[in-house]
Every structure is written in C-alpha cells, then in structure tokens.
C-alpha cells in the first residue's frame, strides 16, 4: 500500500458503529483509507457529497458503500442515519467530521449525535501521513456531554499528521453547537 501500514481494526463483536475518519485534508485520504479498510477486512458505508455520485463513477462509489448526501439543505441526516442503524443488524458508518477537506473552525456533530441516538459506539481512525499509518480502533462510547467528549477526541487526534498541514489543527476539534 505505497509504504503504508494498516494498524488495528474494529473488534469482531462490534457489529454497529460510527467510524470517525480524521483528519480529512486530501482526496488521497479516501484512497489510502479504503485500501487500509480492505486489508483489515472492514466493509462499511460512508457519507460523501452528492456531487460525486455521477456517471461514470456513481456505481463504483455505491459499490464501495457510498451514501450520497445533499449538503445544500438541512435534511435530517442524523435521523436518517439513526434509522439506518435501527434497520440493519450490521452497519459501520464512516464519517469525516470536518465535512470537507478544507480547514474548518469546528467539527460537525452529526457523527456524534448519530452514534448517541442510535446507541452505538464511535470508533476513531487516523490517517497519519508522517508515520504512513492508517490506524483504526480506539473505541469510544458517547456520554451525551458533547463538550467533554470532544476533549477526548482532541486528545486522541493531537499528534495526527494530515497530508495538508494547513487544512487541519487540533483546535478545530470542538463541537459546532
């Protein structure tokens, strides 16, 4: 995998979870991330902007587990994702909490409220470009105290090295309230 290592995984007893994919600063994140997930034997679904789902790659993205999201309007995405968890015996949903590859001031909170409302754990994943390591596996149960929980996320990601350093800082890991 171009010198990268796939480290960790999701414990086999975890059938449902939200997988946080961060930091997300490059299109390469998807490529390396999907390769690592394949090596780890993890089949999942992921959210991506609907603009990506067009001919000729729409079928490919869907075959990889893609779910198109219309970011131009509020569409009760959390409720839809909770329903998806409730309707499936197994579901791993990967979400980049920044919601974009650009630098953000705060993380979106949909991943958090989806996990909390669906009563599923959050699994934290990192693509670390300095170590050339795709790490998946820190399990976290959301408590409902979003401010405190985001402090945990900030601590976890504080040493992560993204592909584009100017598009990520640990200070952005705070909830968009």
pLDDT in tens, 16-31: 999 999 998 898 998 8
Distance, CA of 2 to CA of 22 (rounded, Å): 20
Q: How confident is the model at residue 69 (pLDDT cuts 50, 70, 90)?
A: confident
**What is the total count of domains within the chain?**
1
Q: In angstroms, what is the C-alpha Rg of the chain?
A: 15
pLDDT at site 47: 82
Distance, CA of 114 to CA of 97 (rounded, Å): 12
Distance, CA of 149 to CA of 51 (rounded, Å): 32
pLDDT over 70 for what percent of the chain? 99
Tens-digit pLDDT profile for residues 37-65 = 999 999 999 888 889 899 999 999 999 99
pLDDT score of 70 more than 80: yes
Q: How confident is the model at residue 1 (pLDDT cuts 50, 70, 90)?
A: low
Domain contains 177:
no
pLDDT score of 13 more than 90: yes
Q: What's the predicted TM-score (pTM) here? A: 0.89
**58-76 mean pLDDT:** 86
Q: Which domain holds residue 46?
A: 5-172
Mean pLDDT lowest among 68-82, 115-129, 156-170: 68-82
Burial of 138 (0-12, 13-18, 19+ CB in 10 A): middle
Distance, CA of 100 to CA of 77 (rounded, Å): 16
pLDDT at site 66: 93
Cβ contacts of 143 within 8 Å, gap of 6 or more: 149
Q: Which of 139, 144, 147, 97 is nearest to 121 (CA)?
A: 139
pLDDT at site 156: 95
């Amino acid at each position: 995998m171009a010198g990268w290592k796939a480290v960790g995984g999701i414990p086999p007893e975890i059938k449902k979870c939200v997988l946080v994919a961060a930091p997300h600063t490059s299109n390469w994140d998807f490529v390396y991330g999907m390769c690592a997930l394949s090596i780890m034997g993890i089949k999942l679904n992921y959210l991506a902007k609907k603009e990506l789902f067009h001919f000729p790659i729409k079928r490919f993205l869907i075959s990889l587990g893609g779910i198109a999201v219309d970011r131009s309007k509020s569409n009760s995405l959390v409720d839809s994702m909770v329903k998806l968890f409730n309707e499936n015996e197994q579901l791993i949903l990967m979400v980049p909490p920044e919601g974009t590859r650009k630098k953000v001031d705060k993380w979106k909170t949909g991943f958090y409220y989806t996990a909390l409302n669906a009563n599923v754990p959050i699994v934290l994943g990192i693509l670390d470009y300095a170590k050339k390591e795709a790490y998946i596996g820190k399990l976290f149960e959301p408590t409902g105290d979003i401010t405190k929980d985001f402090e945990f996320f900030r601590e976890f990601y504080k040493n992560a090295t993204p592909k584009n350093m100017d598009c990520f800082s640990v200070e952005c890991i705070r909830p968009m309230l």
